[in-house]
């Protein structure tokens, strides 16, 4: 199911289990499985009332069953238990059913609102669809009411409705709204859980997962507000010392740390290990009666692990002690907004959705250059950074042939990057446009543009024009775009591209 990434909730109609009776054991297992992959389970309040009323009707039938036969047995002196003796009244049965439903973990009762109740009653009285007649009786208010409350919380593409009749579809058609996916309960497993995690699926899922949690300032994973744990981050102190090396000062840096991950700048080397064991505590075992498989049997959850290397734009700080010309040391705390973090991570998939992240090795940090000795070095650094965009297929000539019409498809999603470059001596300006493509492969929408400018700095020339020489960092790099993430030189470009793509549109057929 390609749209599962956008799914918010699975919603139950009264007849989801047939004849308006619930199966709370199945519902409990399903809600737990759905919660593990980030999908909610909703039972509208009118549906819960219908379930409770029908169970109360069953209780009454059991209580009255074989009454004449019981009386005959009693007259013969036999002890005969009364069926359904645990509950004193019909209302007690209803209250018990509703309490049992409310106690199921991960099941959310969608309360009936006054506005929806009034609109639904009007539908039924005036016989506006989805209301209808059953004989001479006007019906349909219940469906009309709970569907309105559901649509107040989610759009049609964000829900799956479990139902076994056509009334729900009739309502959406009458309201001129997109019809959501409507499934019988036996179709839940193949539609929602039988997901194959290949490299492409894993790649798009990882990108979506990370983007949804960035930026993040809590990097140790120590509490529930942590975005994710990427492990210890090493190398920042040495990177700071290397940057200041040769500037005429005696410097020592200590307490350097990455304080914030700003954006995802790249992902590569994605691989998947299939069929790993479930390492969660209290993992649900297979359903009862393994020799007999019910059509709506959910089976056991499937577990896979994907491994990937990710680049993050980051910020940090360090305490720096500087000694100038043998004088007294100066101590200051410096903020760095040009840190690039490389992390090797593993992602646990349960039923095709990421449920946990772990660090596979210590992460490393370096400082991104904003100036280069040569203009071609700057262009080469940009090309290298762009190769980290998942699925981006750069033309073999990029960026050396000087063409103003370079193009690169992003495999797996309907997107393409168009690149234009203008040169003026050693200076150059590169514009990268991100396009959303339509099924025919033609551009249909310009998502945005990012501009990278490389400009010679005259002050980098040391000495006179005749006897001087060229110093380092002669070419300054600047990047500009709407909603540009970070201030990280060439690495802000892939981060911008990744952030502007709708990764929920991933299609394995587009990876070829």
HEC-encoded secondary structure of 394-447: CCCCCCCCCCCCEEEEECCCCEEEEEEEEEECCEEEEEEEEEEECCCCCEEEEE
- CA dist 308 and 203 (Å) reads 8
Structural domains in the chain, CATH included, are 2-193 (3.40.50), 196-277+297-367 (no CATH), 370-512 (no CATH)
Report the DSSP pairing between strands 329-350 and 303-323: antiparallel
User: Could you tell me the CA-to-CA distances from 257 to 150, 238, 320 in Å, in that order?
Assistant: 46, 11, 12
- CA dist 494 and 191 (Å) reads 34
The token pair at 351 is: 């039923």
Sheet with 427-437: strands ordered across = 371-372, 475-481, 443-456, 427-437, 415-424, 406-410, 392-393
- CA dist 40 and 104 (Å) reads 13
Cis amide linkage into residue 369, ω under 30° from 0: no
Element (H, E) at 469: strand 469-470
Q: Shortest CA distance to 36 belongs to which of 281, 392, 266? A: 281
Element (H, E) at 456: strand 443-456
- CA dist 255 and 270 (Å) reads 33
Q: State residue 101 phi and psi, 5-degree precision.
A: -65, -45
The token pair at 328 is: 């007294």
Q: Shortest CA distance to 349 belongs to which of 53, 38, 129? A: 38
- CA dist 389 and 447 (Å) reads 16
User: Cβ distance 226 to 218 under 8 Å?
Assistant: yes
> How many CB atoms lie under 10 A from the CB of residue 412?
23
**Residues β-bridged to residue 110:** 44
- Average pLDDT for the chain: 81
Q: Shortest CA distance to 43 belongs to which of 136, 111, 142, 121? A: 111
pLDDT score recorded for residue 284? 47
- CA dist 229 and 346 (Å) reads 11
Instruction: Name residues of the chain where pLDDT drops below 50.
Output: 1, 223, 281-286, 290
pLDDT score recorded for residue 102? 95
DSSP-derived secondary structure letter, 368: P
- CA dist 96 and 305 (Å) reads 42
Name every residue whose Cβ is closer than 8 Å to that of residue 9 and which is 6 or more positions away in sequence.
Answer: 39, 40, 41, 42, 108, 150, 153, 154, 158, 159, 160
The token pair at 315 is: 């910020």
- CA dist 185 and 182 (Å) reads 10
Extended strands (E) in 237-302: 250-274
- CA dist 272 and 308 (Å) reads 9
Residue written as token pair 């009862």? 288
Taking each helix axis from N to C end, the angle separating 141-151 and 167-174, rounded to the nearest 10 degrees, works out to 60
User: Cβ distance 274 to 316 under 8 Å?
Assistant: no
DSSP for 223-247 reads: STT-------EE-HHHHHHHHHTTS
pTM of the model: 0.73
- CA dist 288 and 209 (Å) reads 34
pLDDT score recorded for residue 282? 45
Q: State residue 411 phi and psi, 5-degree precision.
A: -70, 140
Q: State residue 428 phi and psi, 5-degree precision.
A: -150, 155
The token pair at 56 is: 């109360």
- CA dist 237 and 475 (Å) reads 26
**Residues β-bridged to residue 235:** none
């Amino acid at each position: 199911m390609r749209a599962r990434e956008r799914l918010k909730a699975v919603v139950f109609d009264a007849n989801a289990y047939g004849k308006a009776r619930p199966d709370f054991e199945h519902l409990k297992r399903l809600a737990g499985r759905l919660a593990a992959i980030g999908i909610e389970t909703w039972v509208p309040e009118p549906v819960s009332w219908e379930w409770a009323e029908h169970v109360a009707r069953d209780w009454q039938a059991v209580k009255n069953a074989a009454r004449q036969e019981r009386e005959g047995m009693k007259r013969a002196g036999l002890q005969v238990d009364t069926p359904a003796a645990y509950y004193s009244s019909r209302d007690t049965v209803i209250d018990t059913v509703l309490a049992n439903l409310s106690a199921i973990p991960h099941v959310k009762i969608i309360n009936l609102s006054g506005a929806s109740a009034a609109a639904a009653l009007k539908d039924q009285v005036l016989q506006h669809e989805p209301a209808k007649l059953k004989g001479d009786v006007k019906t349909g208010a219940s469906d009309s009411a709970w569907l309105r409350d559901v649509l107040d919380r989610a759009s049609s593409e964000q829900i799956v409705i479990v139902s076994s009749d056509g009334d729900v579809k009739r309502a959406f058609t009458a309201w001129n709204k997109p019809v959501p996916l409507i499934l019988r309960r036996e179709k839940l497993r193949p539609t929602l859980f039988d997901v194959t995690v290949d490299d492409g699926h894993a790649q798009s899922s990882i990108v979506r997962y990370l983007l949804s949690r960035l930026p993040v300032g809590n990097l140790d994973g120590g509490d529930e507000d942590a975005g994710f744990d990427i492990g210890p981050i090493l190398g920042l102190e040495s990177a700071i010392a290397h940057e200041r090396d040769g500037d005429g000062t005696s410097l020592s840096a200590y307490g350097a740390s990455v304080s914030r991950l700003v954006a995802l700048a790249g992902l590569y080397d994605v691989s998947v290990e299939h069929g790993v064991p479930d390492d969660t505590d209290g993992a649900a075992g297979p359903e009862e009666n393994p020799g007999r498989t019910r059509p709506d049997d959910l089976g056991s959850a499937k577990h896979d692990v994907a491994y990937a290397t990710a680049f993050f734009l980051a910020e940090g700080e360090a305490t720096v002690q500087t000694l100038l010309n043998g004088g007294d040391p100066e101590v200051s705390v410096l903020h760095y907004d040009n840190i690039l973090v490389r992390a090797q991570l593993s992602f646990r998939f349960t039923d095709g959705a990421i449920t946990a992240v772990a660090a596979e090795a210590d992460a490393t940090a370096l400082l991104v250059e904003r100036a280069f000795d040569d203009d071609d070095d700057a262009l080469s650094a940009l090309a290298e950074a762009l190769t980290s965009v998942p699925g981006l297929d750069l033309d073999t000539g990029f960026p050396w042939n000087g063409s103003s019409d370079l193009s690169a498809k992003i495999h797996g999603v309907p997107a393409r990057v168009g690149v234009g470059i203008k040169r003026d001596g050693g200076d150059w300006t590169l514009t990268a446009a991100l396009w959303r493509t339509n099924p025919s492969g033609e551009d249909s929408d310009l998502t945005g543009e990012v501009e990278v400018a490389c400009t010679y700095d005259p002050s980098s020339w040391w000495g006179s024009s005749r006897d001087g020489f060229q110093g380092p960092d002669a070419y300054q790099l600047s990047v500009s775009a709407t909603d540009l993430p970070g201030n990280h030189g060439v690495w802000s470009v892939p981060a911008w591209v990744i952030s502007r793509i709708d990764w929920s549109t991933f299609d394995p057929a587009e990876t070829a």
